[in-house]
């Protein structure tokens, strides 16, 4: 049985309804971040779905040295703290080295380990020692059954508040593919499992000096994953994805979210036997 993990009034796991993790890929500026948070808060309240707000203060693994990375940790955490204060939302963001854990833990409710760092023992252990909920993104190079080792590293600290996220596996050059079996296999660890549908349609480095993406497939993959019985869905969203400074090609426009979520929540209720309740 998958354990339940609570953050504020949001609960992942068990047989609870789906939780949405959403926000812009990177913090571009304070005003845009607050507008997106306000939109997501209103929408998820209307639909009765739990929300965790996501935005990165630093995107350390961009394709090019000239790519936009975000405002940095100090300014980014200040903006995220304002999101929490104004909208009473749990927060998640990435950390990239051990020195970031302590300041991030003062603001974030969930510390995220990026996919490329999912084997880094010292980082996983230090994150676990923070006592925060840890979301580990499965590396594009890892088999789903390998994630039990990442779980074991964090659990060695006495922290079992762990989420696992599927975001696709490398499939040749500049392409990812999702093995839906991985969602089932990773849930066998007892950890709630998240499906990162927007990164799953990313084409890493596909635009030469930047990644490309195929956002037209996000809805189909999301519906398939939810039908399996996952615990959370991860979407990067933007007011105007074509002008986003990070991951625009695989981000969803805000105006598309309501219809997609209504369909997905109906599937989630059937998959978990909630009968829409």
Q: What pLDDT was estimated at residue 131?
A: 97
Q: Is the pLDDT of residue 186 over 60?
A: yes
Q: What pLDDT was estimated at residue 214?
A: 87
Q: What pLDDT was estimated at residue 138?
A: 98
Domains parsed from the chain with CATH numbers:
18-271 (3.20.20.70)
pLDDT digits 0-9 by tens, 107-124: 999 999 999 999 999 999
Closest CA to 20 of 163, 196, 244: 196
Percentage of the residues of the chain whose pLDDT score is greater than 90: 84
- Tell me the C-alpha distance between 238 and 25, whole Å: 8
- Tell me the C-alpha distance between 43 and 188, whole Å: 32
Strands (E), the chain: 5-7, 10-12, 19-23, 50-54, 91-94, 110-113, 133-137, 162-166, 169-170, 176-177, 193-196, 202-203, 212-213, 232-238, 252-253
Closest CA to 18 of 275, 260, 226: 226
Using the Cα atoms of residue 97, residue 99, residue 102 and residue 106 in order, give the sign of their dihedral: negative
Q: Which of 10-14, 31-35, 146-150, 204-208 has the lowest mean pLDDT?
A: 204-208
pLDDT digits 0-9 by tens, 46-101: 999 999 999 999 987 767 787 788 889 999 999 999 999 999 999 999 999 999 99
In sequence order, the 6+-apart residues with CB closer than 8 A to the CB of 173 are none
Residue 209's pLDDT band (cuts 50, 70, 90): low
């Amino acid at each position: 049985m998958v354990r339940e993990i609570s953050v504020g009034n949001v609960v992942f796991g068990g047989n609870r309804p789906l939780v949405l993790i959403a926000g812009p890929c990177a913090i571009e500026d304070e005003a845009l971040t607050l507008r997106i948070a306000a939109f997501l808060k209103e929408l998820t309240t209307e639909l009765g779905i739990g929300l965790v707000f996501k935005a990165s203060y630093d995107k350390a693994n961009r394709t090019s040295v000239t790519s936009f990375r975000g405002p940095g940790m100090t300014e980014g955490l200040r903006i995220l703290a304002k999101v929490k204060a104004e909208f009473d939302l749990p927060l998640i963001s990435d950390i990239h080295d051990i020195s970031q854990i302590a300041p991030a833990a003062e603001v974030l409710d969930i510390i995220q380990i990026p996919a490329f760092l999912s084997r880094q023992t010292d980082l996983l252990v230090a994150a676990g020692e923070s006592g925060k909920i840890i979301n580990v993104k499965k590396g594009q190079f890892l088999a789903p059954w390998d994630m039990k080792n990442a779980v074991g590293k964090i659990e060695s600290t006495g922290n079992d508040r762990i989420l696992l996220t599927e975001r696709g596996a490398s499939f040749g050059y500049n392409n990812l593919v999702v093995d839906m079996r991985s969602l089932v296999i990773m849930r066998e660890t007892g950890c709630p499992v998240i499906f990162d549908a927007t990164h799953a349609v990313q084409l890493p480095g596909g635009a030469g000096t930047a990644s490309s993406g195929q956002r037209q497939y996000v809805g189909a993959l999301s519906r398939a994953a939810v039908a399996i019985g996952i615990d959370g869905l991860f979407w990067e969203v933007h007011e105007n994805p074509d002008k986003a400074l990070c991951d625009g090609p695989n981000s969803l426009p805000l105006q598309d979210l309501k219809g997609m979520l209504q369909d997905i929540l109906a599937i989630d209720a059937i998959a978990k036997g909630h009968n829409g309740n």
